[in-house]
Structure 1
């Protein structure tokens, strides 16, 4: 099952969650109706309205409003995505330019995996907990964050930490995060009944009667009994909440474990992490006050519960390592210290390793073909990680240092947009930087520009993805100013070329959605309804990517993947401009996940037709994938054979 199938299944699971939610609310309504009817039947003035349809309607409306508004309120507070969840659990962001070796190792692993899987590099939060645990949270890959405990980076070696991170990336790619955040909101509404009952119990003594007012005393007793009843009913809601969490979470954990093994090709990594949890006195327990409501998000069981959100750790280990003897290592006094070799050649932490190997393994070559890159979306392998590591290693350490802090990251993006041919336009762009940006930006941009000259297309896009965590630290005002400068740099030559368009799409995908209001990641429209837009995308690829060869054969190869019609013709050159492409891709975001896969496969057929992928084709494919919110592992320009 790939990214697109997982996303489609996640959409269906949302319907299942709504069904569970409805059943829970129905049971709560029934319990409240019985409670109200019982107490009202004891008063001669209210016996006429008990077990009555009118009373049932009133209680149903009250229950629906209370639970519904409670859920909507909680979901609204989580609109900020994974950042809000991480901060509520006591997490603090790890600065991308940190000097701590263990934090560097963690960021290095996350960076490699994000680039390998084609997702924006998520921000990483550290929780000061002694246990070994981690989580991924967010509405979509664009605003995802990863949280880890102090015990996780202290107790695990690189392979084990990589296994845990691969597990969390599986949740990011499989659409589990959105479901998990919605689950927090839904359960908050259900448990609000218990909260209201507790509130009534607290205020009842203050309304208790004295000699002066026996009526208020009766009211106090009534409130106390009602509060106890609502508290009991609230725990019925908690019972259903546990059932819902268990139903949604447990099988997803098995799937994420299996995906982590596929990602790393190292079963001992994730199984070793699970074994260390079993041998640690703190295990995977989380002490943060909000741990219970987020328990279904964690890598390991974070709180004790009647309905476990995770399978037993022994069962998870045996699924990965059938030969396990059943013993856990003593992890309390074990601490892993990153060696210098863990950073060499991984992400430039110790500088460049010198000569990067020029040859690529057959596995790496296969993974970077357009068709294979699309087929592996959401299912990256160790070959993707290895290639991502090589791309990072071949990039100068000075550039890597720049993209890991906000000021330098902005300057690298500006440098990517500088005109490399027309000196007049370039001078105009530098004048604009001097006017619109803070002191030193123009000089830093010029330094970055000199370092970018020899970089390949894939390295440039990788730099944009690596810049995401640093640029996330910008305030909304700073990001708006940065985005405004990007637009002015693009418009300096009064035209928009394909690289500028694709780069802007990637920036909007990786960063824009972190600063904008949450939006739907996928739509419900079929290719048939948006076929003219699909034709335009394939026509643009065929017209601009064939290096002088006739575009019709490659266009026909692509169009055959989405339509059997023999009457579809290649659009004219005039209709295949950047502006028309941008409008088409904007509309194509409304496609369903599976239809998006069909579109990208059609694009890959057009690219692969002549046996090579040109720089222009890679740029268009990258821009289209970003525009329709689909992860795309690195695609290399050059011969496909």
Structure 2
């Protein structure tokens, strides 16, 4: 099953989640009305009135108040989580790791995440560490893959080797790429809503114990303390209906996805002892503390479905377990029973691999630093996205409806990213200068001088750094521009909203300096806007079920790809070859747009609509664009396709991601 099928499956499971949520709400409403009816009768008996008729609108009022609690709680929690993965990481007690951190353990973690992101052709996720958690655990969170965060416990950093840590991160990247994260965040809000009554009931019992004690005006009646306690206890018991359904939903949604993520981690890293070793150490640690993946944070129950391992001992097994048994996961990975491993903290001498992974940062970038070699990067981009029809290392595509191509083999030569660019990409202020450097154009002396003038007026203090970085980018292969931007994303996201707006505004002015927008400029601006705009991390719903609803926009994207890859004479033929491969769309030759007719503002509007496309419809657009390129992508064509994938929150096709294989960050 491929990425898009998993996205669609997540959408279907969201419907199942909605159905179970409605069942939970109905059960809670019935229980509330039944309980309050009995309490009303009890109260009347205690006060000796002997009248058991209910007030007008009694059940309607109970139902309305209950729904208000559930709906209000869900909306409140979803509002708290509007920032996506960052909000979830903070809920779990996570601390944001600075992209330029020089802590050995954190640097090793950041390097692994960077390697994985470059190999997958996606924006580098932000990284959090849960400092108070000594167990081995991790999770990924966010509404879509280009705005994801990865969080790990302190125990994960101190107890796992580099290979094991890489396996854990690969496991979390599977959740990112398979679309699990969006549903997981929605699940947090749903669970909070249906469990609101239990919390409110608990508070009422506490209020009764603290502030009760007085009797009602009828001396024969019960004390206010008893009334509050009984009413609170009833709500607390009813609230457990929500907890029951919540655990049922979590166990139904997350268990099978853990098997998939384990298998994907092996596929990504080509090393079963990576994720396997981490799971074996969780088992070894469990022998000493009953749950080697235990999370102490008070929100652990609410977030339990997101973690690598069971967050609480009572969630290890049984009907409501959020994760499959550890022994079963290991059996599937190794095909046999394996021994558990000791999970003691690694001594300093065992962390020498981290020092070799400092990538120019150990003791600064000067002498004595030991950059990592390309041998440490064993990830294959072709292992990430087999759905596009390519094969690598014996892995066969599962999607037969996408175009087939010869096996794409990485070249033996490696393309190096200069040290100064890597360092700038990891610093928020320098990363802004790096963006400006990527947009400078020396080929047009007049517009170049205008660009320099814009920078002197807007960010005079950064001009020298921009010039230095521009010289470095001029020596870099053109195909490295977007990977460098991906690498800089965690640092750029450290900018506050005003600084982001300034960056986007200055970038737009630099692009407009020559009164025209080139395709390279459009690609960079599209990626920047998609990832740094005020609504970049927000959830985007499905509005269009298929390309048939976006014929004009589809024709425009196919035309743009055809004119990028072919001359004016051959581009119409490439366009027709693409549209003829999907005749059900009904596209005609008259819908072809020449290079002069392509308006990049219209392309931007088209990408905004394609972002709202149903998951299973997205690969068809990518397929059509690949067909229009005749599977022989130039650097410009690859960048165009990367920007489209960024706009669609879709994985980069193998033929593109293979261009970025084995990138040592020297």
Q: Give the TM-score normalised by the residue count of structure 2.
A: 0.86
Secondary structure in 1 aligned to 2:139?
A: strand
Q: Does the 8 Å CA contact 1:191/1:237 hold for their aligned counterparts?
A: yes
Q: 1:419 to 1:607 in 2, by over 3 A?
A: same
Whole-Å separation in 2 of the counterparts to 1:620 and 1:73 = 39
- Give how far 1:74 is off: 0.9
> Which residue of 272, 275, 281 maps to 1:276?
281
Q: Which residues in structure 2 correspond to 1:572-611 (within 5 Å)?
A: 572-608=594-630
- Given that 1:458 and 1:635 are in contact with CA atoms closer than 8 Å, whether structure 2 keeps it comes out as no
Equivalences for 1:258-337 in 2 at 5 Å? Answer: 258-280=263-285, 281-282=288-289, 283-305=292-314, 307-325=320-338, 327-335=339-347
Cα distance between partner residues in 1 of 2:154 and 2:408: 25
User: How far did 1:445 drift?
Assistant: 0.6
Contact 1:122 1:144 in 2 (8 A): yes
Residue number in structure 2 paired with 1:462: 483
Which residue of 2 is the match for residue 10 of structure 1? Answer: 10
> Residues of 2 paired with 1:524 and 1:618: CA distance?
26
**Counterpart-to-counterpart distance in 1, 2:276 and 2:408:** 19
Q: What are the ranges of 5 or more consecutive residues in structure 1 without an aligned counterpart?
A: 379-383
1:165 — aligned with what? 169
Q: In the superposition, relative to structure 1, how do residues 240 and 370 fare at CA in structure 2: closer, same or farther (>3 Å)?
A: closer
User: Aligned equivalents of 1:354 and 1:96: distance in 2?
Assistant: 17
Q: Does structure 2 conserve the Cα–Cα contact (< 8 Å) formed by 1:121 and 1:469?
A: yes
CA offsets 1:361-394 (integer angstroms, 9 cap, x no match): 9x8799999955799899xxxxx99969986x61
Could you say which residue in structure 1 is the equivalent of 2:257? 252
Q: Residue 151 of structure 2: SS of its match in structure 1?
A: strand
Q: Is the 8 A contact 2:71 2:193 kept in 1?
A: yes
CA contact (8 A) 2:126 2:150 kept: yes
Aligned to 1:124: 127
What residue in structure 2 maps to residue 571 of structure 1? 593
* Superposed counterparts of 1:35-74, under 5 Å: 35-42=35-42, 43=44, 44=49, 47-49=52-54, 54-74=57-77
Give the match for residue 577 of structure 2.
557
Q: Distance in 1 between matches of 2:650 and 2:272?
A: 28
Alpha-carbon distance, 1:309 to partner? 0.9
Q: Which moved more, 1:217-226 or 1:19-28?
A: 217-226
Q: Deviations over 1:568-616 (max 9, x none)?
A: 343344422433333333333232122111010110111126xx32222
1:421-477 CA-to-partner distances (Å, cap 9, x unmatched) read 1122112111111111151x1110111111111322331110000000011111111
Provide closer, same or farther for how the CA distance between residues 548 and 516 of structure 1 changes in structure 2, counting only shifts above 3 A: closer
1:279–1:330 contact (8 Å) kept in structure 2: yes
Matched with 1:27 is: 27
Q: 1:236 aligns with which of 227, 236, 241?
A: 241
Cα distance in 2 between the residues matched to 1:388 and 1:143: 30
Closer, same or farther: CA 386–512 of 1 in aligned 2, 3 Å: farther
Are 1:78 and 2:100 counterparts? no
Task: Name the TM-score, length of structure 1 as normaliser.
Answer: 0.89
2:92 is aligned with 1:89:
yes
Residue 47 of structure 1: SS of its match in structure 2?
A: coil
Partners of 1:638 and 1:549 in 2: CA distance: 29
User: SS of the counterpart of 1:323?
Assistant: coil
Maintained 8 Å contact 2:358/2:370? no
Relative to structure 1, is the Cα distance of residues 126 and 386 closer, same or farther in structure 2, using a 3 angstrom cutoff? Answer: farther
Cα separation, partners in 2 of 1:148 and 1:367, compared to 1, 3 Å: closer
Q: 2:360 & 2:25 partners in 1: Cα distance?
A: 54
Aligned length: 622
- Contact 1:209–1:217, Cα closer than 8 Å, also in 2: no
**Residue of structure 2 in register with 1:381 after alignment:** none
> What SS does the aligned partner of 1:262 have?
helix
Q: Distance in 2 between matches of 1:257 and 1:356?
A: 27
Q: Deviations over 1:20-51 (max 9, x none)?
A: 1111111111211221121223425652239x
Structure 2 residue matching 1:632: 3-state secondary structure: coil
What value does the CA root-mean-square deviation take over the aligned residues? 3.3
Shift of 1:270: 0.7
CA drift of 1:412 comes to 1.0
Match of 2:512 among 484, 491, 505: 491
CA distance in 1, matches of 2:412, 2:108: 13
SS in structure 1 of the partner of residue 128 of structure 2: strand
- Secondary structure of the residue that 1:474 maps to in structure 2? coil
CA shift, 1:215, in A, is: 7.5
